[in-house]
Protein backbone atom coordinates (compact mmCIF):
# COMPACT_ATOMS: atom_id res chain seq x y z
CA UNK A 1 0.00 0.00 0.00
CA UNK A 2 1.35 3.40 -0.92
CA UNK A 3 1.73 5.90 1.90
CA UNK A 4 -0.66 8.41 0.37
CA UNK A 5 -3.33 5.68 0.19
CA UNK A 6 -3.16 4.88 3.90
CA UNK A 7 -5.41 6.38 6.50
CA UNK A 8 -3.76 8.27 9.31
CA UNK A 9 -4.34 5.42 11.77
CA UNK A 10 -3.04 2.81 9.33
CA UNK A 11 0.07 4.83 8.66
CA UNK A 12 0.71 5.24 12.37
CA UNK A 13 0.41 1.52 12.99
CA UNK A 14 2.59 0.56 10.00
CA UNK A 15 5.59 2.72 10.94
CA UNK A 16 8.43 0.46 12.18
CA UNK A 17 9.99 3.15 14.36
CA UNK A 18 12.32 2.14 17.19
CA UNK A 19 13.35 5.01 19.41
CA UNK A 20 15.85 4.86 22.25
CA UNK A 21 14.41 4.60 25.76
CA UNK A 22 11.27 6.43 24.73
CA UNK A 23 13.08 9.64 23.73
CA UNK A 24 11.02 11.99 21.52
CA UNK A 25 11.77 11.45 17.83
CA UNK A 26 12.71 14.13 15.32
CA UNK A 27 14.39 16.37 17.95
CA UNK A 28 11.04 16.77 19.67
CA UNK A 29 9.54 18.75 16.80
CA UNK A 30 6.76 16.33 16.00
CA UNK A 31 5.79 12.67 15.98
CA UNK A 32 7.28 10.31 13.46
CA UNK A 33 3.82 9.90 11.99
CA UNK A 34 3.47 13.65 11.43
CA UNK A 35 6.95 13.87 9.96
CA UNK A 36 6.03 11.20 7.41
CA UNK A 37 2.55 12.38 6.51
CA UNK A 38 2.51 16.18 6.70
CA UNK A 39 3.89 18.97 4.57
CA UNK A 40 3.50 21.28 1.61
CA UNK A 41 6.08 21.61 -1.17
CA UNK A 42 8.87 24.15 -1.32
CA UNK A 43 7.00 25.97 -4.07
CA UNK A 44 3.83 26.15 -1.97
CA UNK A 45 5.74 27.28 1.11
CA UNK A 46 7.55 30.00 -0.82
CA UNK A 47 4.28 31.27 -2.29
CA UNK A 48 2.85 31.70 1.19
CA UNK A 49 6.04 33.24 2.59
CA UNK A 50 6.01 35.80 -0.19
CA UNK A 51 2.42 36.77 0.54
CA UNK A 52 3.10 37.14 4.25
CA UNK A 53 6.25 39.15 3.53
CA UNK A 54 4.35 41.48 1.21
CA UNK A 55 1.51 41.93 3.71
CA UNK A 56 3.90 42.75 6.56
CA UNK A 57 5.61 45.31 4.36
CA UNK A 58 2.31 46.96 3.51
CA UNK A 59 1.30 46.94 7.17
CA UNK A 60 4.60 48.54 8.15
CA UNK A 61 4.00 51.33 5.64
CA UNK A 62 0.53 52.01 7.02
CA UNK A 63 1.71 52.27 10.61
CA UNK A 64 4.58 54.57 9.58
CA UNK A 65 2.39 56.75 7.38
CA UNK A 66 -0.14 57.39 10.13
CA UNK A 67 2.15 58.16 13.11
CA UNK A 68 2.63 61.88 12.47
CA UNK A 69 -0.97 62.84 11.69
CA UNK A 70 -2.50 60.60 14.37
CA UNK A 71 -3.44 62.88 17.24
CA UNK A 72 -3.81 60.40 20.11
CA UNK A 73 -0.47 60.06 21.89
CA UNK A 74 -0.99 56.42 22.90
CA UNK A 75 -1.73 55.45 19.31
CA UNK A 76 1.43 57.23 18.08
CA UNK A 77 3.43 55.15 20.51
CA UNK A 78 1.65 51.90 19.61
CA UNK A 79 1.99 52.48 15.86
CA UNK A 80 5.72 53.04 16.42
CA UNK A 81 6.03 49.66 18.15
CA UNK A 82 3.87 47.84 15.64
CA UNK A 83 5.84 49.27 12.72
CA UNK A 84 9.04 48.04 14.40
CA UNK A 85 7.65 44.52 14.75
CA UNK A 86 6.61 44.45 11.10
CA UNK A 87 9.97 45.77 9.90
CA UNK A 88 11.87 43.06 11.75
CA UNK A 89 9.71 40.25 10.34
CA UNK A 90 9.78 41.58 6.78
CA UNK A 91 13.52 41.02 6.77
CA UNK A 92 13.24 37.53 8.24
CA UNK A 93 10.70 36.36 5.65
CA UNK A 94 12.69 37.79 2.75
CA UNK A 95 15.81 36.02 4.00
CA UNK A 96 13.95 32.71 4.24
CA UNK A 97 12.67 32.96 0.67
CA UNK A 98 16.23 33.47 -0.55
CA UNK A 99 17.27 30.23 1.16
CA UNK A 100 14.67 28.07 -0.54
CA UNK A 101 16.09 27.43 -4.01
CA UNK A 102 13.91 30.25 -5.24
CA UNK A 103 15.20 33.57 -6.57
CA UNK A 104 13.79 36.39 -4.45
CA UNK A 105 11.91 37.82 -7.42
CA UNK A 106 8.44 39.14 -6.80
CA UNK A 107 8.89 39.92 -3.11
CA UNK A 108 7.62 43.43 -3.70
CA UNK A 109 5.00 42.52 -6.29
CA UNK A 110 1.39 42.47 -5.18
CA UNK A 111 0.14 38.87 -5.02
CA UNK A 112 -3.38 39.88 -6.10
CA UNK A 113 -5.26 43.07 -7.07
CA UNK A 114 -7.73 42.42 -4.26
CA UNK A 115 -4.96 42.63 -1.70
CA UNK A 116 -3.83 45.94 -3.22
CA UNK A 117 -7.29 47.35 -2.65
CA UNK A 118 -7.47 45.86 0.84
CA UNK A 119 -4.31 47.58 2.09
CA UNK A 120 -4.78 50.75 0.01
CA UNK A 121 -8.19 51.27 1.62
CA UNK A 122 -6.83 50.92 5.15
CA UNK A 123 -3.97 53.30 4.37
CA UNK A 124 -6.27 55.92 2.88
CA UNK A 125 -9.09 55.85 5.40
CA UNK A 126 -9.40 59.33 6.94
CA UNK A 127 -10.79 58.49 10.37
CA UNK A 128 -9.18 57.02 13.47
CA UNK A 129 -12.10 54.64 14.04
CA UNK A 130 -11.99 53.21 10.52
CA UNK A 131 -8.19 52.98 10.67
CA UNK A 132 -8.34 50.96 13.88
CA UNK A 133 -11.03 48.64 12.56
CA UNK A 134 -9.20 48.14 9.29
CA UNK A 135 -5.86 47.46 10.93
CA UNK A 136 -6.80 45.43 13.95
CA UNK A 137 -10.03 43.65 12.97
CA UNK A 138 -9.16 42.93 9.35
CA UNK A 139 -5.46 43.16 8.44
CA UNK A 140 -4.03 41.65 11.63
CA UNK A 141 -6.45 38.71 11.76
CA UNK A 142 -5.66 37.96 8.10
CA UNK A 143 -1.91 37.87 8.82
CA UNK A 144 -2.48 35.76 11.93
CA UNK A 145 -4.54 33.27 9.89
CA UNK A 146 -1.84 33.06 7.24
CA UNK A 147 0.84 32.35 9.83
CA UNK A 148 -1.31 29.76 11.59
CA UNK A 149 -2.08 28.02 8.29
CA UNK A 150 1.60 27.84 7.41
CA UNK A 151 2.50 26.45 10.83
CA UNK A 152 -0.19 23.80 10.48
CA UNK A 153 0.43 22.83 6.87
CA UNK A 154 4.20 22.75 6.41
CA UNK A 155 6.41 19.91 7.60
CA UNK A 156 7.74 20.63 11.07
CA UNK A 157 11.17 19.18 10.29
CA UNK A 158 11.66 19.73 6.58
CA UNK A 159 10.54 23.37 6.68
CA UNK A 160 11.63 24.12 10.23
CA UNK A 161 13.30 27.48 9.34
CA UNK A 162 9.97 28.76 7.94
CA UNK A 163 8.09 27.50 10.97
CA UNK A 164 10.56 29.17 13.33
CA UNK A 165 10.22 32.65 11.85
CA UNK A 166 6.46 32.16 11.56
CA UNK A 167 6.13 31.25 15.24
CA UNK A 168 8.06 34.36 16.25
CA UNK A 169 6.03 36.55 13.91
CA UNK A 170 2.78 35.02 15.14
CA UNK A 171 3.69 35.82 18.74
CA UNK A 172 4.16 39.51 17.98
CA UNK A 173 1.26 39.76 15.54
CA UNK A 174 -1.03 38.44 18.28
CA UNK A 175 0.40 41.04 20.66
CA UNK A 176 -0.45 43.73 18.10
CA UNK A 177 -3.92 42.29 17.61
CA UNK A 178 -4.56 42.23 21.35
CA UNK A 179 -3.59 45.88 21.68
CA UNK A 180 -5.77 46.75 18.73
CA UNK A 181 -8.78 45.01 20.22
CA UNK A 182 -8.36 47.02 23.42
CA UNK A 183 -7.96 50.25 21.46
CA UNK A 184 -11.15 49.55 19.52
CA UNK A 185 -13.06 48.94 22.76
CA UNK A 186 -11.89 52.33 24.01
CA UNK A 187 -12.28 54.41 20.88
CA UNK A 188 -14.96 52.87 18.63
CA UNK A 189 -18.62 52.70 19.64
CA UNK A 190 -21.38 50.67 18.00
CA UNK A 191 -22.81 53.65 16.17
CA UNK A 192 -19.43 54.39 14.58
CA UNK A 193 -18.97 50.74 13.67
CA UNK A 194 -22.43 50.63 12.09
CA UNK A 195 -21.69 53.73 10.02
CA UNK A 196 -18.62 51.96 8.60
CA UNK A 197 -20.36 48.65 7.84
CA UNK A 198 -20.34 49.22 4.08
CA UNK A 199 -16.62 49.99 4.04
CA UNK A 200 -15.80 47.03 6.29
CA UNK A 201 -17.76 44.82 3.92
CA UNK A 202 -15.60 46.17 1.08
CA UNK A 203 -12.49 45.02 2.96
CA UNK A 204 -13.99 41.55 3.39
CA UNK A 205 -14.79 41.33 -0.32
CA UNK A 206 -11.32 42.49 -1.31
CA UNK A 207 -9.74 39.83 0.90
CA UNK A 208 -12.10 37.12 -0.34
CA UNK A 209 -11.34 37.99 -3.96
CA UNK A 210 -7.70 37.09 -3.27
CA UNK A 211 -8.51 33.76 -1.64
CA UNK A 212 -7.66 35.26 1.75
CA UNK A 213 -4.29 36.82 2.47
CA UNK A 214 -2.35 33.59 1.93
CA UNK A 215 -4.39 32.37 -1.05
CA UNK A 216 -5.40 29.14 0.66
CA UNK A 217 -9.13 29.31 -0.08
CA UNK A 218 -11.02 29.57 -3.34
CA UNK A 219 -11.21 33.19 -4.52
CA UNK A 220 -14.65 34.74 -4.48
CA UNK A 221 -15.46 36.50 -7.73
CA UNK A 222 -17.28 39.80 -7.72
CA UNK A 223 -16.73 43.54 -8.04
CA UNK A 224 -14.59 45.30 -5.46
CA UNK A 225 -14.74 49.03 -6.02
CA UNK A 226 -12.35 51.39 -4.30
CA UNK A 227 -13.76 53.89 -1.80
CA UNK A 228 -11.19 55.90 0.18
CA UNK A 229 -8.37 54.82 -2.11
CA UNK A 230 -10.13 55.94 -5.29
CA UNK A 231 -7.86 58.99 -5.07
CA UNK A 232 -4.12 58.37 -4.43
CA UNK A 233 -3.12 58.54 -0.77
CA UNK A 234 -1.16 61.65 0.21
CA UNK A 235 1.12 61.58 3.24
CA UNK A 236 0.37 64.28 5.83
CA UNK A 237 3.63 65.58 7.38
CA UNK A 238 2.00 68.00 9.86
CA UNK A 239 2.16 66.65 13.44
CA UNK A 240 -1.15 66.34 15.25
CA UNK A 241 -1.66 66.10 19.01
CA UNK A 242 -4.75 65.29 21.08
CA UNK A 243 -6.49 67.75 23.37
CA UNK A 244 -4.25 66.95 26.34
CA UNK A 245 -1.37 68.69 24.57
CA UNK A 246 -1.74 72.39 25.10
CA UNK A 247 0.46 75.18 23.81
CA UNK A 248 2.49 73.03 21.39
CA UNK A 249 4.45 76.06 20.13
CA UNK A 250 5.72 76.91 23.60
CA UNK A 251 9.49 77.43 23.90
CA UNK A 252 9.33 79.27 27.20
CA UNK A 253 11.51 77.01 29.38
CA UNK A 254 15.06 76.18 28.32
CA UNK A 255 15.71 72.70 29.72
CA UNK A 256 19.32 72.49 28.57
CA UNK A 257 20.34 75.77 30.18
CA UNK A 258 19.36 74.35 33.56
CA UNK A 259 20.79 70.87 32.96
CA UNK A 260 24.21 72.26 32.12
CA UNK A 261 24.25 74.80 34.92
CA UNK A 262 26.73 73.53 37.56
CA UNK A 263 25.16 75.77 40.20
CA UNK A 264 21.86 73.85 40.11
CA UNK A 265 21.65 70.75 42.29
CA UNK A 266 20.95 67.42 40.51
CA UNK A 267 17.53 66.70 42.04
CA UNK A 268 15.61 69.58 40.36
CA UNK A 269 17.21 68.59 37.08
CA UNK A 270 15.13 65.43 37.25
CA UNK A 271 12.19 67.48 35.95
CA UNK A 272 14.17 68.64 32.95
CA UNK A 273 15.39 65.14 32.20
CA UNK A 274 11.82 63.84 32.19
CA UNK A 275 10.71 66.82 30.13
CA UNK A 276 13.41 66.20 27.54
CA UNK A 277 12.51 62.54 27.32
CA UNK A 278 8.79 63.06 26.90
CA UNK A 279 9.34 65.87 24.44
CA UNK A 280 10.84 63.22 22.17
CA UNK A 281 7.34 62.52 20.89
CA UNK A 282 8.43 64.80 18.06
CA UNK A 283 11.23 62.45 16.95
CA UNK A 284 8.96 59.61 15.76
CA UNK A 285 6.74 62.29 14.23
CA UNK A 286 9.75 63.47 12.20
CA UNK A 287 11.35 60.10 11.48
CA UNK A 288 8.05 58.74 10.18
CA UNK A 289 8.18 61.45 7.51
CA UNK A 290 11.67 60.33 6.44
CA UNK A 291 10.53 56.73 6.08
CA UNK A 292 7.22 57.58 4.40
CA UNK A 293 8.84 59.86 1.84
CA UNK A 294 12.02 57.88 1.06
CA UNK A 295 11.82 55.19 -1.61
CA UNK A 296 14.26 52.76 -3.15
CA UNK A 297 16.47 51.96 -0.18
CA UNK A 298 17.48 48.43 0.90
CA UNK A 299 15.08 46.98 3.44
CA UNK A 300 17.81 47.12 6.08
CA UNK A 301 17.57 50.92 5.92
CA UNK A 302 13.86 50.88 6.74
CA UNK A 303 14.40 48.26 9.43
CA UNK A 304 17.16 50.24 11.17
CA UNK A 305 15.37 53.57 10.90
CA UNK A 306 12.15 52.04 12.22
CA UNK A 307 14.07 50.58 15.14
CA UNK A 308 15.39 54.07 15.95
CA UNK A 309 11.90 55.53 15.55
CA UNK A 310 10.57 53.01 18.07
CA UNK A 311 13.43 53.77 20.46
CA UNK A 312 12.56 57.46 20.36
CA UNK A 313 8.93 56.62 21.14
CA UNK A 314 10.19 54.54 24.07
CA UNK A 315 12.13 57.56 25.31
CA UNK A 316 8.97 59.68 25.25
CA UNK A 317 7.19 57.06 27.34
CA UNK A 318 10.16 56.94 29.72
CA UNK A 319 9.59 60.64 30.39
CA UNK A 320 5.89 60.03 30.85
CA UNK A 321 6.64 57.27 33.36
CA UNK A 322 8.98 59.60 35.21
CA UNK A 323 6.30 62.27 35.58
CA UNK A 324 3.70 59.69 36.65
CA UNK A 325 6.10 58.34 39.28
CA UNK A 326 6.22 61.83 40.81
CA UNK A 327 2.49 62.38 40.65
CA UNK A 328 2.98 65.23 38.17
CA UNK A 329 0.26 65.84 35.60
CA UNK A 330 2.29 66.05 32.39
CA UNK A 331 -0.65 67.56 30.52
CA UNK A 332 0.13 70.80 32.37
CA UNK A 333 3.54 70.93 30.68
CA UNK A 334 3.75 72.30 27.12
CA UNK A 335 5.41 69.65 24.95
CA UNK A 336 6.20 71.51 21.76
CA UNK A 337 6.15 70.02 18.27
CA UNK A 338 7.96 72.89 16.58
CA UNK A 339 11.00 70.76 15.68
CA UNK A 340 9.08 68.03 13.85
CA UNK A 341 6.77 70.59 12.26
CA UNK A 342 9.66 72.65 10.91
CA UNK A 343 11.69 69.73 9.59
CA UNK A 344 8.71 67.91 8.08
CA UNK A 345 7.38 70.92 6.20
CA UNK A 346 10.57 72.76 5.23
CA UNK A 347 13.21 70.11 4.49
CA UNK A 348 13.68 67.11 2.23
CA UNK A 349 13.84 63.61 3.76
CA UNK A 350 17.61 63.52 3.20
CA UNK A 351 18.05 66.86 4.92
CA UNK A 352 15.90 65.75 7.85
CA UNK A 353 18.08 62.69 8.26
CA UNK A 354 21.19 64.85 8.14
CA UNK A 355 19.81 67.03 10.94
CA UNK A 356 19.00 63.92 12.97
CA UNK A 357 22.54 62.64 12.44
CA UNK A 358 24.05 65.95 13.54
CA UNK A 359 21.98 65.82 16.72
CA UNK A 360 22.92 62.21 17.48
CA UNK A 361 26.62 62.96 17.03
CA UNK A 362 26.25 65.97 19.30
CA UNK A 363 24.99 63.68 22.04
CA UNK A 364 28.15 61.57 22.09
CA UNK A 365 30.68 63.92 23.81
CA UNK A 366 31.40 62.93 27.38
CA UNK A 367 30.92 66.37 28.95
CA UNK A 368 27.88 67.57 27.05
CA UNK A 369 25.94 64.55 25.92
CA UNK A 370 24.21 61.40 27.06
CA UNK A 371 26.89 60.36 29.53
CA UNK A 372 26.53 63.76 31.23
CA UNK A 373 22.76 63.30 31.53
CA UNK A 374 23.30 59.83 32.97
CA UNK A 375 25.72 61.19 35.58
CA UNK A 376 23.21 63.87 36.53
CA UNK A 377 20.59 61.14 36.89
CA UNK A 378 22.91 59.09 39.12
CA UNK A 379 23.52 62.13 41.27
CA UNK A 380 19.79 62.53 41.91
CA UNK A 381 19.98 59.16 43.78
CA UNK A 382 16.64 58.28 42.18
CA UNK A 383 16.93 54.80 40.71
CA UNK A 384 14.17 55.31 38.14
CA UNK A 385 15.82 58.46 36.77
CA UNK A 386 19.18 56.72 36.57
CA UNK A 387 17.64 53.66 34.86
CA UNK A 388 15.87 55.81 32.28
CA UNK A 389 19.03 57.71 31.40
CA UNK A 390 21.10 54.51 31.38
CA UNK A 391 18.96 52.99 28.63
CA UNK A 392 18.49 56.30 26.85
CA UNK A 393 22.27 56.62 26.55
CA UNK A 394 22.63 53.04 25.28
CA UNK A 395 20.00 53.67 22.61
CA UNK A 396 21.62 56.87 21.40
CA UNK A 397 24.95 55.11 20.83
CA UNK A 398 23.09 52.73 18.51
CA UNK A 399 21.37 55.65 16.78
CA UNK A 400 24.68 57.35 16.09
CA UNK A 401 25.83 54.15 14.39
CA UNK A 402 22.63 53.95 12.32
CA UNK A 403 23.37 57.46 11.08
CA UNK A 404 26.94 56.52 10.20
CA UNK A 405 25.68 53.47 8.32
CA UNK A 406 23.03 55.19 6.22
CA UNK A 407 23.37 58.98 5.89
CA UNK A 408 27.16 59.41 6.08
CA UNK A 409 27.84 57.41 2.87
CA UNK A 410 25.30 59.61 1.11
CA UNK A 411 26.96 62.85 2.22
CA UNK A 412 30.67 61.99 2.30
CA UNK A 413 32.72 61.69 5.46
CA UNK A 414 31.33 61.78 8.99
CA UNK A 415 32.60 65.33 9.42
CA UNK A 416 30.99 66.41 6.14
CA UNK A 417 27.69 64.81 7.12
CA UNK A 418 27.68 66.53 10.48
CA UNK A 419 28.57 69.89 8.94
CA UNK A 420 25.85 69.48 6.35
CA UNK A 421 23.30 68.55 9.01
CA UNK A 422 24.17 71.63 11.07
CA UNK A 423 23.98 73.87 8.00
CA UNK A 424 20.58 72.50 6.97
CA UNK A 425 19.33 72.83 10.52
CA UNK A 426 20.11 76.54 10.48
CA UNK A 427 17.57 76.98 7.68
CA UNK A 428 14.73 75.89 9.94
CA UNK A 429 14.58 78.93 12.18
CA UNK A 430 12.21 79.20 15.10
CA UNK A 431 10.04 82.28 14.66
CA UNK A 432 9.57 83.06 18.34
CA UNK A 433 7.74 86.39 17.90
CA UNK A 434 5.56 85.30 14.99
CA UNK A 435 4.02 82.49 17.02
CA UNK A 436 3.10 85.03 19.70
CA UNK A 437 1.67 87.45 17.14
CA UNK A 438 -0.44 84.68 15.61
CA UNK A 439 -1.79 83.74 19.02
CA UNK A 440 -0.28 80.25 18.90
CA UNK A 441 1.59 80.64 22.20
CA UNK A 442 2.68 83.09 24.86
CA UNK A 443 5.76 81.01 25.67
CA UNK A 444 4.54 80.85 29.25
CA UNK A 445 6.94 79.77 31.98
CA UNK A 446 5.51 76.46 33.22
CA UNK A 447 8.52 75.71 35.44
CA UNK A 448 7.41 77.22 38.81
CA UNK A 449 4.18 75.18 39.06
CA UNK A 450 5.87 71.91 38.11
CA UNK A 451 8.83 72.59 40.39
CA UNK A 452 6.48 73.22 43.34
CA UNK A 453 4.66 69.96 42.64
CA UNK A 454 7.96 68.08 42.45
CA UNK A 455 9.14 69.60 45.73
CA UNK A 456 5.92 68.48 47.39
CA UNK A 457 6.60 64.97 46.11
CA UNK A 458 10.17 65.08 47.42
CA UNK A 459 9.07 66.58 50.74
CA UNK A 460 11.34 69.63 50.46
CA UNK A 461 10.78 73.37 50.28
CA UNK A 462 11.29 75.03 46.87
CA UNK A 463 14.50 77.00 46.47
CA UNK A 464 13.39 80.64 45.89
CA UNK A 465 16.16 81.28 43.37
CA UNK A 466 15.33 78.14 41.42
CA UNK A 467 11.64 78.90 41.62
CA UNK A 468 12.39 82.12 39.75
CA UNK A 469 14.08 80.29 36.84
CA UNK A 470 12.90 81.87 33.58
CA UNK A 471 15.56 81.20 30.93
CA UNK A 472 13.87 80.71 27.56
CA UNK A 473 14.97 79.41 24.19
CA UNK A 474 14.77 82.95 22.88
CA UNK A 475 17.25 84.10 25.52
CA UNK A 476 19.87 81.51 24.57
CA UNK A 477 19.52 81.09 20.84
CA UNK A 478 22.16 78.38 20.51
CA UNK A 479 19.99 76.08 22.57
CA UNK A 480 17.15 76.29 20.07
CA UNK A 481 18.83 73.31 18.49
CA UNK A 482 18.72 71.23 21.65
CA UNK A 483 15.27 69.81 21.05
CA UNK A 484 15.83 66.16 20.21
CA UNK A 485 17.70 63.20 21.55
Per-domain boundaries in the chain: 3-37, 42-226, 255-481
pLDDT over 50 at 4, yes or no: no
Average pLDDT over residues 312-317: 98
Residue-level pLDDT at 15: 67
Mean per-residue pLDDT for 32-56? 95
The predicted structure's pLDDT at residue 476: 67
pLDDT tier, 475 (very low <50, low <70, confident <90, very high otherwise): confident
Q: Based on C-alpha coordinates, what's the Rg of the chain?
A: 26
Question: What's the pTM?
Answer: 0.94
pLDDT reported for residue 5: 43
Residue of 344, 349, 341 lying closest to 296 (CA atoms): 349
- Does position 314 have pLDDT exceeding 70, yes or no? yes
* Per-residue pLDDT, 104: 67
**Where residue 2 falls among pLDDT bands split at 50, 70, 90?**
very low
For 375-396, the pLDDT digits (tens) are 999 999 999 999 999 999 999 9
- Tens digit of each residue's pLDDT (9 = 90 or more) over 77-113: 999 999 999 999 999 999 999 999 876 677 889 999 9
Average pLDDT over residues 437-444: 93
% of the chain with per-residue pLDDT over 70? 94
Check whether 240 has a pLDDT greater than 70.
yes
Contact in structure between 143 and 177 (CB atoms under 8 Å)? no
Please give the distance of CA 306 from its chain centroid, rounded to a whole number.
6
Predicted confidence at residue 483, as pLDDT, reads: 40
pLDDT attached to residue 14:
62
pLDDT > 70? residue 470: yes
Length, in residues, of the chain: 485
The span from the CA of 258 to the CA of 275, in Å, is 12
The answer on pLDDT for 185 being more than 80 is yes
Higher pLDDT, 293 or 15: 293
CATH code for the part of the protein at 42-226: 1.20.1260.10
- What average pLDDT does range 322-332 have in this prediction? 97
What pLDDT is recorded for position 445? 96
In this predicted structure, the answer to whether residue 7 has a pLDDT above a threshold of 70 is no
Amino acid sequence: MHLEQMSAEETKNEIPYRGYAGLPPVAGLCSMHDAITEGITVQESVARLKRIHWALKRLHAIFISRITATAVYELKMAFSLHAHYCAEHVGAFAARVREMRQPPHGLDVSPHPGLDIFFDEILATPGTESLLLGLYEHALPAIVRALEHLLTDTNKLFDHPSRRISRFALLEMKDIQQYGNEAIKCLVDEEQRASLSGWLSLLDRALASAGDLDGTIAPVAGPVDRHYSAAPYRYDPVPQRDERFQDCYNMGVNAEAMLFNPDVEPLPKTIMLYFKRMREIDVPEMMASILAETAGKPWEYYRDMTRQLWDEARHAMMGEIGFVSMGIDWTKIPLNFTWSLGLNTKLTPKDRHAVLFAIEQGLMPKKAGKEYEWRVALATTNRLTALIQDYDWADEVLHARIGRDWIVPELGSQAEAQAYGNEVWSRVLVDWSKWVEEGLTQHRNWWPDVYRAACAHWGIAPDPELLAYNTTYETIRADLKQVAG
